[in-house]
Structure 1
Amino acid sequence: MTVDRWAQWVRQQVGLGRLLPLGGPRDGAWITEAAAGAVLRRAVADGAPGVRLGVLRIALADPRDVTEPVVPAPPSALPPGPLRVTADFAATAAEPLPTAASRLRRALAGAATERLGLAVTEIDLRATDLLEPDAPDAPATGTPQPPSAHEPTDTDGTTVAEAALAVPGVLRLTGVLGGLGRAVHIEEHADEAALPRRHVRVELTTDASHRTVDVARQVRAAVRDALADRPTVAVLVTAVD
């Protein structure tokens, strides 16, 4: 790998942000912080005029208040638990800042729960600037487009890909995590209390018109049922378009 390609790979992996738990411990799904943040920004642009978001981060509200997921998590993924959104914002002087902050908080909370399915319990906001009354709203930002995945070359990988793509709300498969270019990862997972069992991880982009966690649940069920040994399945959402 050349120096330029290495630097590009590092930027891509860092740009994903944290791998956030999607839904609860039984949902077996995660979403990149970049993908979730883009959805929240679009919700603010649509639902909170006169407010402009700055830095936006999503993390565990309390790293001690977490639950073990029912399936193996993607590498470096956060465990399921309540989440906190922190954001800087600017607003016009047309209304008191607390009022603008309340509108912003409602937009963020609504999108996190209704569009994505994130378990957000805390939203911390900091006003950093005042906007001119006629300042244009910031354009909504899309999720950075993750690279498309390579076609699976094995029979089971192809079966998994076809099952996932057949689920309503799945737009395409992506190959992001680890820079391997593969959307379907199949491995043996050893458990101290049971015989080794196969585990499948699928990376994908979902349609913004579908609730993200609901799509992930359907993908898990479809992939599990598509393989004869009914493996455990985890889903990683890398973009919402």
Structure 2
Amino acid sequence: RLKYIQTKSGKLDNKVKRIGPHIEIFQVFREKAKLINTKKIVKMITIMQAYVRGWLERRRYQRIMTKALHHGPNLRAVINLYHRLIHRVKYRLGLWRTRQIINFVELEEWMDRKKFYETMFAKREDWQGLERSELLKFFNDCGHFPTQQQIDEVWDLVHKKDHDRYSQLLKKYNAIEMLFTLYPPQGAHVHKNIRLRSTWLRPIVNGEEGYKYIVSGHPILKRANIRIVGKLVCRSIRERKMRHLSKEVE
């Protein structure tokens, strides 16, 4: 006598028939087949990732090649220009390790900023150049808000041993040099800029100036409670005095 052995798929079909019109409910609670990561699947995923990343890198390279034509005759000349700028900025800030590794992201960031600075300079300059008294407004147009003292210090740095140090007119080259000296590009890897410090009136958080939000009247800003501000200032002064006393005791 032959005994009929029902397969697993047959049992599932019988269950579906018994459930009847509620087959959608059965499909929700039905155990799903697990994906087995075989070598073939892993290889397929790796090839797909390599293809997408390669396409993105090629697009970035084409974009950088196009942008480089705005700053020089070819990409090699622009990279050399970028190298020399990084070297000068690090030297002015007292950083002696001037070795550089080209990173396309950092290079593109520098080119974008340089083009933006040149555009802002062209809006303010006359046929001779930009007056020194207009530097603060020019920096503000570029999205930076330094003090007049910081601008004067950078002026002396950039025009060191230069005949234009006592001039009241500024050329585009020197204006952009001042901007990149006070606000170094990412490729310079300046983690602690001694020329630009965070203060109560002009705070800097994660490398971003908070003063621009005050000037633009950002909606996130709220009127501060004077009592909370007073307590914060008093606590800061007290901590500073305690540190000073502890150093004297030592």
Fold conserved between structures, TM > 0.5: no
Q: Which has the higher strand share?
A: 1
TM category, shorter = under 0.3
TM-score (norm 2): 0.22
Greater per-residue helix proportion = 2
Higher RCO (CA-CA < 8 Å; seq separation 6+): 1
Normalising by structure 1, report the TM-score.
0.22
